Amino acid sequence: MSRFTQHVPDILDCLAQLSNDEVPTSPKLACAMLDLLPEHVWHEPHYRWLNPFSKSGVFLREIATRLLDGLADWEPDFVARREHIFRNMLYGAAITEMTGIISRRSVYCTADASSAYSMVRFDDPAGNIPYVPSAHDFNKDGRCRLCNAPEDLERGDSRENYAYSFIHGTYPTKEMADMQFDVIVGNPPYQIDSDGNTRTMPIYQKFVERAIEMNPRYVLMITPSRWFTGGLGLDDFRGRMIADRHLSKLVDNPKLFDCFPGVEIKGGVSYFLWDRDHDGDCEFSTRVNGTINSTMSRDLRAGDGVLMRDNLAASIVAKVRATALPSVENGFAPQVPFGLRTNFSGAVDEPFPGNIPVVYGNKIGYVRSDQLERLHDWVDRWKVLIPKAGDGHGRDVAYVLGTPIALAPGSACTQTYLIAASFDSEEETRNYAGYMATKLYRFLVLQRKVTQDLTPDRFRFVPMLDMTRAWTDEQLYDHFGLTADEREYVESKIMPREVNWSLDSPIPASHLPGGTKYKPGKIDDAADED
pLDDT band of residue 242 (cuts 50, 70, 90) is very high
pLDDT band of residue 424 (cuts 50, 70, 90) is very high
Total residues belonging to the chain = 530
**pLDDT of 524:** 44
Query: What does the pLDDT look like over 429-440, one tens digit per residue?
Result: 999 999 999 999
pLDDT band of residue 223 (cuts 50, 70, 90) is very high
522 vs 151, higher pLDDT: 151
- What's the gap between Cα 358 and its chain centre? 37
Beta strands in 110-260 (DSSP E): 183-186, 191-194, 199-202, 218-224, 247-253
Query: What does the pLDDT look like over 446-467, one tens digit per residue?
Result: 988 877 889 999 999 999 999 9
Residues 6+ apart with CB under 8 A from 223: 188, 190, 204, 205, 208, 269, 270, 271
pLDDT band of residue 525 (cuts 50, 70, 90) is very low
pLDDT band of residue 392 (cuts 50, 70, 90) is low
Nearest CA to 49 out of 29, 71, 75 is that of 71
Domains and their CATH numbers in the chain: 11-132+170-321 (3.40.50.150), 133-169 (no CATH), 328-511 (no CATH)
Beta strands in 401-465 (DSSP E): 405-407, 412-413, 417-423
Q: Average the pLDDT over 296-305 and give the result.
A: 90
**pLDDT of 448:** 87
309 vs 464, higher pLDDT: 464
Residues 6+ apart with CB under 8 A from 344: 358, 414, 415
**pLDDT of 198:** 53
Q: Is the pLDDT of residue 110 over 70?
A: yes
**pLDDT of 165:** 94
**pLDDT of 306:** 85
**pLDDT of 201:** 86
Q: Is the pLDDT of residue 19 over 60?
A: no
Phi first, then psi, for residue 473 (nearest 5°) are: -60, -45
pLDDT, the chain, mean: 89
Cite the DSSP H helix spans in 247-330. 311-321
Q: Average the pLDDT over 310-338 and give the result.
A: 94
**pLDDT of 264:** 78
**pLDDT of 162:** 84
Query: What does the pLDDT look like over 35-53, one tens digit per residue?
Result: 999 999 999 999 999 999 9
pLDDT band of residue 260 (cuts 50, 70, 90) is confident
Global pTM reads: 0.80
Residues 6+ apart with CB under 8 A from 247: 241, 272, 273, 274, 275, 278, 282, 300
Q: Is the pLDDT of residue 16 over 70?
A: no
Nearest CA to 92 out of 46, 117, 129, 39 is that of 129
**pLDDT of 22:** 59
**pLDDT of 51:** 98
Which helix (H) or strand (E) element contains residue 100? Answer: helix 97-108
**pLDDT of 530:** 42
Share of the chain above pLDDT 90, in %: 72
Question: How far separated are the first and last CA of the chain, in Å rounded?
Answer: 55
Which range, of 5-14, 129-138, 182-191, 513-522, averages the lowest pLDDT?
Answer: 5-14
Q: How far apart are CA 257 and CA 240, in angstroms?
A: 28
Q: Are 107 and 64 in contact (CB under 8 A)?
A: yes
**pLDDT of 226:** 87
Phi first, then psi, for residue 26 (nearest 5°) are: -75, 155
**pLDDT of 28:** 94
pLDDT band of residue 394 (cuts 50, 70, 90) is low
Q: Is 62 helix (H, G, I), strand (E, B) or coil?
A: helix
Q: Is the pLDDT of residue 20 over 90?
A: no
Q: Average the pLDDT over 209-226 and give the result.
A: 96
Q: Average the pLDDT over 332-345 and give the result.
A: 92
Nearest CA to 401 out of 363, 440, 446 is that of 446
Query: What does the pLDDT look like over 124-156, one tens digit per residue?
Result: 999 999 999 999 999 998 889 988 888 877 666
Q: Are 410 and 358 in contact (CB under 8 A)?
A: no
Which helix (H) or strand (E) element contains residue 206? Answer: helix 204-213
**pLDDT of 1:** 42
